[in-house]
Structure 1
């Protein structure tokens, strides 16, 4: 049994909780919003999340030829990124969706079946910090709007490095720190008032969306996150701000 007196406190939004508590709290958030998650993304971002994910997949550039390409989408949930990867690449692209929330994966499986993509997908209930896959087994790794919800970012990055083959690419799309004067104040006001209110109307509960907004504010800045990716062993680490830094795409290569 873990001695809770030895636990470190970690951020859960603006609260501090025991490190063994956080994952359960995150799971509860996503189980509540799974059925309306995609609808809420459209409402919260005015549809911009679709363009951001398109940019992410364009950077991945999955191959169109006959060579096999095995891709892992972590925190893949409802399949928004995974299905883009399949449609952007050739017929031998295969994607594994990994998510710690069975409810989110269930929505992804429904969408894959509806869209005729089920035969090219695998689904795994998995923790980003302890992936159930062998070393060096994927050619690409994406995580979109998920890494800020893990308990230990360094462990998730180490796992990303472990499961990628040499030459494999890591790409992370995540909310970040606005770098445009005045936009930051407008964005803060919108985030803490409009988003929880819309969440309450659409899902019946605004609290999960207050946590999601708070988790954005406690996530490392662009340069700090870049350093964490480099510390995990990735080479040629870069990032690209989108929409004035509302989100950023970080890229790194397994060597």
Structure 2
């Protein structure tokens, strides 16, 4: 008699930081991480990067180039920072061009606690009727093909159980001529800088997480997940293989973060 393997034994293994876990376990544990840090997420981002992450996001959204009347999906959008920036820039573009059409945005996140933290922000009021919040998995988006003009992911795709499946979903829901912007922690362009950054991140970030968010383990995972993410050229190739054209890479702060930008042609 041949023993049958359980689903857990047959599932593909993926990285959760430096651990190897099943895809379903990674999804559950990532949800736990962000449920734990949701209330201090924006504050911790400011502390960890000395506020520089806001400049990276500003430059990323300028590259996305929001336009009046467009529909935007921010996957793993958390507290909605990129979605609000998209609407702001689209309105400015409309004013310059004398176009009244209003852009809309959806913040899509698998974690309900992150969405609740985002929805509670006072600066959502000005976008009433134009900003929506949806709890959904970025690898299985609840939207028809060719639904959006722009899709963005900011510091979220490294948490996917299967980022290739996620990239293919982004390509599916983008209209022809739509664009994808993926802003993610990456690899420093100089080995000496990487060594210094490693020293900082391994020693300071988990300690900050403990002091500010009361959760050292979640920020230890954050540091490890950054190290497990592929380098800029490898991820560029993954985007191209998922169907994106003219993929470009812009390094920020010496490669601490990088914007990968591609077109759905």
Give the TM-score range, shorter chain.
over 0.9
Q: Show structure 1 runs of 4+ deviating over 3 A.
A: 112-115
Q: Is the 8 A contact 1:226 1:237 kept in 2?
A: yes
Residue 55 of structure 1, CA deviation = 0.5
**5+ long unaligned stretches in structure 2:** 92-100
Instruction: Work out the CA distance in 1 between the residues paired with 2:66 and 2:21.
Output: 39
Change (3 A) 1:253 1:39: same
SS at match of 1:63: coil
User: Among 62, 85, 107, which residue is 1:97 paired with?
Assistant: 107
2:42 alignment counterpart: 38
Residue 176 of structure 1, CA deviation = 0.3
- Cα RMSD after superposing both structures: 1.4
1:212 alignment counterpart: 222
Q: Does 1:147 align with 2:157?
A: yes
1:159 alignment counterpart: 169
Q: Give aligned pairs, total.
A: 252
CA distances 1:42-100 after superposition (whole Å, capped 9, x unpaired) = 00001000000001110011115xxx200000011101111111111126110010000
1:128 alignment counterpart: 138
Q: Does 1:224 align with 2:234?
A: yes
Q: Is the 8 A contact 1:79 1:111 kept in 2?
A: no
Q: How does 1:8-157 map to 2 (within 5 A)?
A: 8-64=12-68, 68-90=69-91, 92-111=102-121, 114-157=124-167
Question: Rg bigger for which structure?
Answer: 2
Task: Report which stretch shifted further, 244-253 or 2-11.
Answer: 2-11
Instruction: Work out the CA distance in 2 between the residues paired with 1:143 and 1:159.
Output: 12
SS at match of 2:121: helix
Instruction: Work out the CA distance in 2 between the residues paired with 1:244 and 1:180.
Output: 8
CA distances 1:78-129 after superposition (whole Å, capped 9, x unpaired) = 0111111111112611001000000101111112665422321111101010
